[in-house]
Amino acid sequence: MTSDATDPTPSYVLGHSDGELDRLATQARLIDPITRQFFAEAGIAPGMRVLDIGSGVGDVAFLAAGLVGRSGEVVGVDRSSAALERAEIRRRDLSFDNVSFRIGDPTSMAFDSPFDAVIGRYVLQFQTDPSDLLRQLRTHAARGSVIAFHELDWGGVQSFPALATRDQCCRWISETLRRNETETRMGAKLYSAFVSADLEPPSLIVRSVAAGPVHAKQFVDLEVDVAKTLLPEMVRLGIASEDEVGIGTLAERIYGEMKSTGSVLFGRNEICAWTTA
């Protein structure tokens, strides 16, 4: 989600360039199976009417559409017109007749009727006050409906034996995000955010990706793509220089270390919290 002059959401540091939108699509291919499991366990089921917050290019909306079936409906909301233009093209190409998108701030929107579920992925981490957003979104939820959010916790990132280059890359990314007002431990803070929003204490589930040298390429490529997107901001903030990052050879160097050490990398903790309104 991006911001406007009156929006309490900090500037979205990753932006909405074509390259970033492509990265989101790659990210979705790796993370969608986790999100699907989370939302199914949270109770997203056939026939439900779902509000997807921060839809971006539509990945979570399409995932939810698969869970609710043709008897259900998904409405996706985002502040980025560029992202929603791509989402709408994808919706038509994929023939998701039960999905629609709206641009704007969901807290100030009016909808025809309350929703059976309000969901989001990687949204609360970019909010100045996640609890306030949850509190306002609750007004769109029918009584007894599901409220479920999937967020990240960068505290889970590690490798064993340690991969110096990959671990340093992740520290650079995390620090750049943190200094741009992104909550890099949002997953671990979901419980308190829900309770502070006067919601019932949520259930929690955590998963992560893990891979050895043979299967790690797609995960390393994704992390390097994030580093590439954030590189100008890393340099501006003095977190790392272009020479230190060496973005052109970064992935190759990480692969080399993995092969020589036989290391296993562990990704960010993927955490979902859900409760009923």
Give the pLDDT confidence score for residue 13 in this predicted structure. 58
Question: Which segments of the chain have a pLDDT < 70?
Answer: 1-21, 23-24
C-alpha–C-alpha distance, residues 178 and 176, integer Å: 5
Give the pLDDT confidence score for residue 18 in this predicted structure. 64
Q: If we measure between CA atoms, which residue out of 47, 53, 50 comes closest to residue 142?
A: 50
> For residue range 228-246, what is the model confidence (pLDDT) as tens digits?
999 999 999 999 999 999 9
* SS3 label, residue 275: strand
C-alpha–C-alpha distance, residues 13 and 130, integer Å: 17
Q: Which CATH number fits domain 18-276: 3.40.50.150, 3.90.420.10, 3.40.50.20, 3.10.180.10?
A: 3.40.50.150
Domain ranges of the chain: 18-276
* Cβ atoms 38, 67 nearer than 8 A: no
> For residue range 174-220, what is the model confidence (pLDDT) as tens digits?
999 999 999 999 999 999 999 999 999 999 999 999 999 999 999 99
* Cβ atoms 74, 61 nearer than 8 A: yes
* SS3 label, residue 206: strand
Angle at CA of residue 87, ends 152 and 197, nearest 5°: 40
Give the pLDDT confidence score for residue 28 in this predicted structure. 79
Greatest Cα pair distance, the chain, in angstroms, is 58
Angle at CA of residue 224, ends 77 and 249, nearest 5°: 155
